[in-house]
Amino acid sequence: MSRIGKKPVEVPSGVTVAIDGQNVSAKGPKGELHITLVENVLAEMGDDGVSVQPRDKSKESRSAWGMSRTLVSNIVEGVSKGFERKLEITGVGYRAAVQGKTLQLALGYSHDVNFEIPSDVQIACPKPTEIVVTGIDKQRVGQVAANIRKWREPEPYKGKGIRYSDEYVVRKEGKKK
């Protein structure tokens, strides 16, 4: 039995959820999202929200049950609140700035890195060493943040690079004389 799958997804006020077979769409104040669930699960609207059930007792159906419920929960939360991922830049001379539709990163290379901001994600730099990625699609926000982090991942000796705000980088001791 899936502990996550058993819980229904609560639909907050201001959000409407429509279910058409395997297609689930949610519309809210932040926008509209839709997903297509796998054939092994069945989604239905109830009094307490959207409930997801496996079609049969097979291992594949039970495996997809919790994941499908979480995907429905993510689109409902995305259109109501949205998602945010914070990145921190550590290093002398490392900085970021948003210029129009481009995120300009100075990361110690011989040239600045220009990262084109996708249309479905917003990026802000409240400080030169902080990047905030926001959007309604959790997967897209996480992927864009990972693509930015990939330009200079944090290194273990001095900790320089781009890291998530909640990430802990294991530091190593340098060489000894």
Q: What is the pLDDT of residues 22-40, one digit of tens each?
A: 999 999 999 999 999 999 9
| 63 beta partners | none
| 137 beta partners | none
Are 14 and 76 contained in the same domain?
yes
pLDDT tens-digit series, residues 77-127? 999 999 999 999 999 999 999 999 999 999 999 999 999 999 999 999 999
Are 154 and 126 contained in the same domain?
yes
Are 55 and 28 contained in the same domain?
yes
With 0-12 / 13-18 / 19 or more C-beta atoms within 10 angstroms meaning exposed / middle / buried, residue 7 is middle
What integer is the mean pLDDT of 155-170?
93
In a domain, 170, yes or no: no
Are 109 and 36 contained in the same domain?
no
Choose the final residue of a domain: 80, 96, 129: 80
Q: Would you call 27 helix, strand, or coil by DSSP? A: strand
**Confidence tier at 1 by pLDDT (50, 70, 90):** low
Q: Cβ(17)–Cβ(50) under 8 Å?
A: yes
Q: Which domain holds residue 137?
A: 83-164
Q: Cβ(165)–Cβ(154) under 8 Å?
A: no
Q: Cβ(87)–Cβ(133) under 8 Å?
A: yes
| Strand residue runs (E) in the chain | 16-20, 23-28, 31-36, 41-46, 49-54, 83-90, 95-99, 102-106, 113-116, 121-124, 130-135, 161-164
Q: Cβ(13)–Cβ(29) under 8 Å?
A: no
Amino acid in the structure at residue 24: V
Choose the final residue of a domain: 80, 111, 140: 80
Are 122 and 154 contained in the same domain?
yes
In a domain, 24, yes or no: yes
Report the pLDDT value the prediction gives residue 174, as an integer from 0 to 100.
Answer: 87
What is the model's pTM? 0.89
What integer is the mean pLDDT of 132-144?
95
In a domain, 171, yes or no: no
Number of H helices, E strands in the chain: 3, 12
- Residue carrying structure tokens 């539709």: 101
Are 61 and 99 contained in the same domain?
no
Report the pLDDT value the prediction gives residue 69, as an integer from 0 to 100.
Answer: 92
Q: Cβ(78)–Cβ(33) under 8 Å?
A: yes
